[in-house]
Amino acid sequence: VQLQASGGGLVQPGGSLRLSCAASGGAFSINAMGWYRQAPGKQREAVATITSGGNTNHADSVKGRFTVSSDNAKNTVYLQIFSAKPEDTATYYCWAEWNRFSWGPSEESWGQGTLVTVSS
């Protein structure tokens, strides 16, 4: 599975932005998708994930400001950013967990990253 993210850019503090990530390629199932981020000099951290059943998980640092959603028919995951803060500045990576077959272990894929800069 290949992941193609888009939607990053410059946003002012307090502003909004939406990231999108589309999955393509052969997979028996995509079990979950989501977003991680990595700020300069910091480790990559989980931002938000969503399962194929619609269960979501958001990091405490973004709860109430970010919303993850998905369109299973399009194999696409979104991250809606509200009330952006300078500390949200990072490269955001799309992630997916999927199964190649109906049996066997799950696999993971990562997108190329899209830069979000929160600055006035």
Residue 33 has pLDDT above 90, yes or no: yes
The CA-CA-CA angle for residues 68, 74, 80, to 5°, reads 20
Write down the pLDDT at residue 103: 87
CA pseudo-torsion sign 74, 71, 44, 80? positive
How many C-beta atoms lie closer than 10 Å to residue 92's C-beta? Answer: 23
CA distances from 25 to 39, 62, 105 (A): 29, 30, 17
The CA-CA-CA angle for residues 95, 100, 105, to 5°, reads 80
Per-residue pLDDT tens over the stretch 81-117: 999 999 999 999 999 999 999 888 999 999 999 999 9
Residue 76 has pLDDT above 90, yes or no: yes
- Distance in angstroms (rounded) separating the CA atoms of residues 112 and 41: 18
Write down the pLDDT at residue 27: 85
- In the chain, the N- to C-terminal Cα span, in Å, equals 37
How would you label 25-48 residue by residue, b for 16+ Cβ within 10 Å and e otherwise?
eebeebebbbbbbeeeeeeeeebb
